[in-house]
Structure formats: C-alpha cells, structure tokens
Structure 1
C-alpha cells in the first residue's frame, strides 16, 4: 500500500465524486480511478459503490476512513517532527461544536491552544450535536467534541466545563418580554421553535424535559438544527424557545431573554473524547482545556 493511494481514497471519500477529487489532487480522473482500484485490490474489498449518478462508501470504506485519516496525520507529524526542536508539539486535531451554544467556551480554548501550541493544526466542525459527536468520536473521525452532559453509557471519557440555567426567549413585543422572570408553565399555550427531536441535541432533550416537568409538552411548530437560527426565528415573531443563559449574550434584535422562576433546569456543557485515541496531540489539548475551562465547583 502506498501513501498516495490513501490520499486518493480520502479525497474521493470526502468529495464522493471522482471528478472533484481528481481536481483537488491536481490529476486526471482516469489515473485516480486506477489508483482506487489498486487500493481495493490490495485491501481485497470494494471501498466505493459506484453508479453513473453517485459514489458512496461501502461499509469497508467507512471502516477504513478513520484509519486513513490517522495514517496521514501521523505521516505529517513525522515530517514535521524531523525538523522540530526538542519539546515542540506538532500535529492535527479535529474538534466539533454545536454552534452558538458554545460561543463562550470554544473561543477560550482555541485561543489558548493557538498561543500555547502554534504548530498544532485545528480543524473545527460546527453544527455537530451531541449524538452525532459521540458517534464520530467512537468512529475515530473526531478527536474532541463539545457535548451536552450526561452522555449515555459509552466507552468515551467526558468532563463538565460549564453549567448554564435554561431560560425563555420570546419576541420583543411578547406580553412576557418585560417580565423579570416567568414560570415555565406560562408558556404552555405558545408555539415553540426547537432543535429537531431525536436528532441527538442535548438542548432539545433538556428543554423538552423541562416543559414536561412543568406539566405540558411544547407545541413545536418549527424545528431548526442551528441554535442561532432559533433565536432569529423567535426575533421574527414565529414563536418562543428555551435556550441556555449564555445565549442571551448573542440575541438578535427583536428577541428577549427572560429567566425562569422556580426550580432551575440546567444545560450542562462538557468535553468528550475517546481514551483509546492514539493522537499525540490530544493529551496536550486536554491539559490546556483543564486550565482554561476548569470544571465548575
């Protein structure tokens, strides 16, 4: 097996199109197809399902992909280490986050990492909800993820980094917009805008559980996978929502955050990773995370 075969495989796996992958690799499509066939022959299994209209990874291809990423990453680390001074940390780390929910925690970590380890390349993937992040961490396609806690039982490790109260977001002209606080039960007749149900979002799970505890199920009229767009739809007068207190910092014009009275439901933010991950960079990143995002008392 040659390194260029793995580079070709990764390009096709990410593009799912031989023409685009060939352009990305600065080569013609025919030699690329031949390279993939050589890799499949060497592996003894087909890696792609090909048709005249589409290209898709086979189960074998999906299994190979995280290992191909790791092999190419390790090669790059080896190349850089050959020229590195003693004690310099080089490498690549892939990290996911949900989006607006992490606007307080993500920048603190990434800025600290860039200062401490400028030769570490960070790849950030946005709009990755907790359920998807867990799956990708277990597959090896992610190294570190911002998630909601607690996680369902899994071989992953996690640590709490923030705890934020849940509150209501209502349009600025809503009758409750000027209240200092409101009882969640007062929203039982409202139209709700929420993250998709069953999509692995901890915000949706926590918000729904809070409504049920208040004696009603939210009447969801719109689901959106982007937390900031939820705020935007509320500002547009399309309904109300429940979000973490930290998101009150980034409300669009036309939306108002109102704290909840009574027992406080909380959204718990954490970092998750796979202890078996062989990345040489991950332990250094976790050490920095401990310093800039300590577990709250």
Structure 2
C-alpha cells in the first residue's frame, strides 16, 4: 500500500468529489481515479459508490477512513520529528562525567538545555573518568565527555570550561592541618587515599606527577571509586589525598582542605567531542554549553571588566 494512495483516499473521502479532491491534491482527476482503483484492488473491497451525480463512502470506506487518517497523522508527526532532529531540536546526546568535579558545571548545562531545547535528552553516564570519557568519545560510544587537558587524540575537539588547582585534603586533627599551606614534599611519608589505578582518573595521574616532581611516589593505602568516598575515608583518618578546588564543596566532619605551598599545578576541565560527529542535537548542546559554561578568560584578562564569552564554532 502506497502512502500516496492513502492520501488520495482521504482527500476523496473528505471532499466526496473527485474533481475537488484532485484540485486539493494539485493533480489531474484521471490519475487520482487510478490511484483509488489501485487501492481498492489491493484491499479487495470497494471504498466508494460512484455515480454521475455523487460519490459516497461504502461501509468498507467508512471503516478505512479513521485508520487512514491516523496513518497520515503519524507520518506527519514522523516528518516533523525528523526535521526537528535535523535542526538539532530533538534527539539524544550521551554525556560521560565523573562525580564531584562536575557537580557545578553539569547542572548548569542540563538546566540551560531543558529551558531552551526540551526536546533534547541528555543521557548521563556517571563515574566516567576523564581518560575513559576521552577514549569513549574518540571511539564514538559517547557524544560528549567532561575531560581534562591536555588532549592529544586526533579527531577530538575540546573547549575549556573551568580551571582548577590541586589542594590537599587531610584529617582535621592531622598536624599539617594547622598550616596555612602544605608543601607537597611534607606528604612524602603520608598514606594516600586515591582513585583506582585502572579507573582512568586524570586526578590520580596529576597527583602522582605532582608528588614525583616533589621527589616521592605517593603510598596509596586505600582506593575508592569517587571523590565523595575518598574524602569520607580521609575524614575518617585513613590517609590524605590531593583533590581539586571544585571538590571543596564536599564537607565532612573531621575534614580539612589546605592549599599546596607554592603550587602552580593547574588542571583545565574541558568538554570533548568527536570533530566529525554528525549529530545535530550534539551541535545544539555545544552551542548551549558555550553560554552556560563559558570558557574562562586568560589570567591577564581577569578583573578587567565584564567576562567575555568565547566564540564557538559548532562545525569545528
């Protein structure tokens, strides 16, 4: 059964006049009559009673009219949905992120997207650490990932959304907690709590690099899958950890945060996506993110007037 035959039937059934129906469909009357005959032949029933003076629906035609209208309405909905998706107004975007470090940026993005494009669904996959998120974006199993720079994978585009520093988290009753800032070397003999070594955590990598630069390898006595658990273990006295400034919102009884003395270690949080990803909804999410999560200004520009928004090319 061809869709054009159903369209022709509905037009004739509503007009009850082949001439007016043909005019409505912007076609000649003979082809319209042929389409109706073909439809009747395919169905094996007569849909119209025709005479030189009138056209009437048969009982089969009346029964067919409701479902035929439903078919055309469904096709119209499908067409509008496809066009909306093509414009980036409808669809799904998969997003990988990891816990505490995204607790500020992710809600800003989801709320902004819900307000401006409610037809786009974000499928959120938590505990997807930065390195894992980057790998999955590159392979195509994620549309968008919260990652940390540097990113060296070919075919992956990024945009910085935040700049953070490493800080030390330690038990409140620890002797070093009395210091205003803590030299990294002072942590050489301390037990550490950290993310698992195979989790793909960029924070763990940064912790090891920072400690090795200070002349030691951190002694990890306990691993945990997220910052909330790690900081709870620190508060319980299991060890110390290096965490990010974005995680200081996690407050635990018995937990203290202290800056690292003389530290210039800075991590840039970024969004990452495949440059050749053809998804129109992804382009819409990236455009919304450019406003909801603007790229921080360079340090030399900070404090010099209102914040600037980084331009974003959705085709990059």
The two structures have a TM-score, normalised by structure 1, of 0.70
- 2:18 aligned partner: none
Q: How far apart in 2 are the matches of 1:86 and 1:195?
A: 40
- 1:259 aligned partner: 259
Other structure's SS at 1:286 match: helix
Other structure's SS at 2:212 match: helix
Taking a change above 3 Å as real, the CA distance of residues 261 and 80 of structure 1, as seen in their structure-2 partners, is: farther
Other structure's SS at 1:231 match: helix
- 1:179 aligned partner: 179
Q: How far apart in 2 are the matches of 1:86 and 1:152?
A: 30
Alignment RMSD (CA, Å): 2.2
Taking a change above 3 Å as real, the CA distance of residues 128 and 87 of structure 1, as seen in their structure-2 partners, is: closer
Q: How far apart in 2 are the matches of 1:245 and 1:213?
A: 20
Greater gyration radius? 2
- 1:212 aligned partner: 212
Aligned-pair CA distance for 1:161: 1.0
- 2:167 aligned partner: 167
Aligned-pair CA distance for 1:154: 2.8
Other structure's SS at 2:291 match: helix
- 1:105 aligned partner: 105
Structure 2 gap segments, 5+ residues each: 1-76, 298-316
Taking a change above 3 Å as real, the CA distance of residues 84 and 277 of structure 1, as seen in their structure-2 partners, is: closer
Post-superposition Cα deviations, 1:2-32, rounded to whole Å, max 9, x if no partner, equal xxxxxxxxxxxxxxxxxxxxxxxxxxxxxxx
1:97–1:145 Cα contact (<8 Å) kept:
yes
Aligned-pair CA distance for 1:108: 1.1
Structure 1 gap segments, 5+ residues each: 1-76
Other structure's SS at 2:193 match: strand
Q: How far apart in 1 are the matches of 2:224 and 2:186?
A: 23
Other structure's SS at 2:249 match: helix
Taking a change above 3 Å as real, the CA distance of residues 80 and 181 of structure 1, as seen in their structure-2 partners, is: farther
2:145–2:271 Cα contact (<8 Å) kept:
yes
The two structures have a TM-score, normalised by structure 2, of 0.66
> Are 1:200 and 2:200 an aligned pair?
yes
Superposition pairs of residues 201-240 of structure 1, within 5 angstroms: 201-240=201-240
1:91–1:120 Cα contact (<8 Å) kept:
yes
- 2:274 aligned partner: 274
- 2:139 aligned partner: 139
2:88–2:282 Cα contact (<8 Å) kept:
no
Taking a change above 3 Å as real, the CA distance of residues 82 and 205 of structure 1, as seen in their structure-2 partners, is: closer
Structure 1 stretches (4+) deviating beyond 4 angstroms?
77-80, 82-88
> Are 1:117 and 2:140 an aligned pair?
no
